[in-house]
Amino acid sequence: MDFKEKVAESYKLIQDEICRGLEEADGSAKFQEELWDREGGGGGRTRIIQDGSVLERGGVNFSAVHGTLPEPIKKSFGVQDDQFFATGVSIVIHPKSPWVPIIHMNIRYFELNEQTRWFGGGIDLTPHYINTADAQFFHRSLKDVCDRFSADFYPEFKTWADNYFFIKHRNETRGIGGVFYDRLNPAKTSLDYEDFFSFSEELGRSFVPIYRELIERNKNRPFGEKEKQWQLMRRGRYVEFNLVYDAGTKFGLETNGRIESILMSLPPYANWTYNYKAEPGSDEEKTLRFLKKGVDWISL
């Protein structure tokens, strides 16, 4: 088994583990699986959970695809080779309760040849209402994973997430960020590809314990129509980012990916309110004040 096959097999196992963990956390809903083949090479396993006790809709997708790299992507990567391989696990979860946050994770590996290959990914959290204790727990958990590999990872990847998950036309972050990295390779570090592979595995396996804790903390909190409408509006912001800025969405569309799998990140319902103004001193206003880059969540 060569390296890329080893990565793909490990990511399949991580998909299985995350699906089991989310089913246990929800307590009622089960994932439905659809196997698919990509025209041009490869395929994947799309798994969707919906209408659960906790999870309104979520997707945990695995793919391993290969083929000819489209010319625009080839040009953006600055490469000559055009035969690519890409594998990864991608997750987006939209909960029922406005007190439980939206969460996204992606771990991936891309290869053109022995010299041109890298890891990418990350985890970020989008609370409808920002709870500083939850934010601190989330970021400390990610820092613990990062610190096991390099003291530089968390500060670098946290800043990267702040800059990446930013809705420019709104001048606000999508949520509280997390960690994000791309094109991770040994060129500027003492770590090697095996180290980066292990890091991506540990980050992937941190997903379930982190999110289960956030679910348990918040799933039984009561809410009313006001909180639900706010949740739908925050989902609208999530949609805007994914359709306008998200690189994974663009890559999937430009490489002839499976549309249903690519757009599984979108919520079942979302709202757009014209010229919304939060009531001064409200929980909604407090959340909006936190939607900016550079917040030191661990020290709050």
Strand partners, 36: 44
217 Cβ partners below 8 Å, 6+ apart? Answer: 134
* CA–CA separation, 39 and 24 (whole Å): 35
Contact 213, 133 (CB under 8 A): no
Tokens read off for 15? 């998909």
Q: Which amino acid is at 232?
A: L
Which position has the token pair 């991608």?
A: 90
290: number of Cβ within 10 Å: 18
* CA–CA separation, 128 and 239 (whole Å): 13
279 Cβ partners below 8 Å, 6+ apart? Answer: 285
* CA–CA separation, 100 and 211 (whole Å): 9
187 Cβ partners below 8 Å, 6+ apart? Answer: none
CA-closest candidate to residue 230, choices 292, 278, 290:
278
Which position has the token pair 């791309």?
A: 182
* CA–CA separation, 183 and 161 (whole Å): 14
Contact 123, 142 (CB under 8 A): yes
Catalytic residue annotation: 104
Tokens read off for 29? 């809903």
CA-closest candidate to residue 121, choices 181, 175, 202, 208:
181
